[in-house]
Structure 1
Amino acid sequence: MELWYCRVCGLDYDESPWGPDGHSPDYSTCACCGVVFGYDDYTPNSARGYRAQWLAAGAVWFYPNMKPQNWQMNTQLQQVPARYH
């Protein structure tokens, strides 16, 4: 199974919210950082800006009930696609 990683926080997903072509966002929300795919992460700079705000606010999970018990923020952040670092 191929995984897709959030451009802001690196959370893994089974399917890309950017569609099969990588250019058609579904405007869903990341469970971890709360980014709206296709809006807040449309460009590398917008993803970086959103990440900086999310981290400055304490990297709080958008849907806290979905946060893994042993969540490792730094490990997850390493999964952010290189173009969006």
Structure 2
Amino acid sequence: MTYTCPVCGFDELDEPAYNEFNDPSFEICSCCRFQFGDDDDVEIEEGLFMQREETHAMYRQAWIAKGTPIFMPEYYPKQFQLDGAVTKEHLIEQLKNIRIFEDQ
């Protein structure tokens, strides 16, 4: 069984990003490089942390702006790669896994 990255929609994670107790897996997504339990631990000011969904959206936006580089291309389907990045066509399909770019 595989799981979906809530940041980029890649559906080949070995573990769920967060378990039933909402604890992070600390797995690093081989597509977008987001590490659950580390990259989502953003302190806005002392003792006040950004919501996970906000960190996911912020990281996703920055990853897309960088051109969707694939962190570990050897673990990502070659037919959906172009010059070390996710192809635009597949990115749209992948983001549908997390309800972004859903068909209208």
TM over 0.5, yes or no?
Answer: yes
1:43-68 Cα shifts (integer Å, max 9, x gaps): 11100000011001110101011121
Q: Identify if the C-alpha distance between structure 1 residues 81 and 43 changes in structure 2 by more than 3 Å, giving closer, same or farther.
A: farther
Q: Pick 1 or 2: higher relative contact order, CA cutoff 8 A, min separation 6.
A: 1
Q: 1:10 maps to what in 2? A: 9
Q: 2:77 maps to what in 1? A: 68
- What stretches of structure 1 of length at least 5 have no aligned partner? none
Q: Which stretch shifts more, 10-19 or 50-59?
A: 10-19
Larger Rg: 2
**Which TM-score applies when normalising by structure 1?**
0.78
Structure 1 ranges of 4+ moved more than 3 A? none
RMSD: 2.0
Letter in 2 for 1:34: R
Q: 2:38 maps to what in 1? A: 39
**Which TM-score applies when normalising by structure 2?**
0.66
Count, aligned residues: 80
Q: Does structure 2 conserve the Cα–Cα contact (< 8 Å) formed by 1:16 and 1:22?
A: no
- Identical residues among aligned pairs (%): 32
- What stretches of structure 2 of length at least 5 have no aligned partner? 41-50, 81-89
Q: Which stretch shifts more, 68-77 or 48-57?
A: 68-77
* Distance in 2 (alpha carbons) for counterparts of 1:77 and 1:17: 16
Q: Identify if the C-alpha distance between structure 1 residues 61 and 22 changes in structure 2 by more than 3 Å, giving closer, same or farther.
A: farther
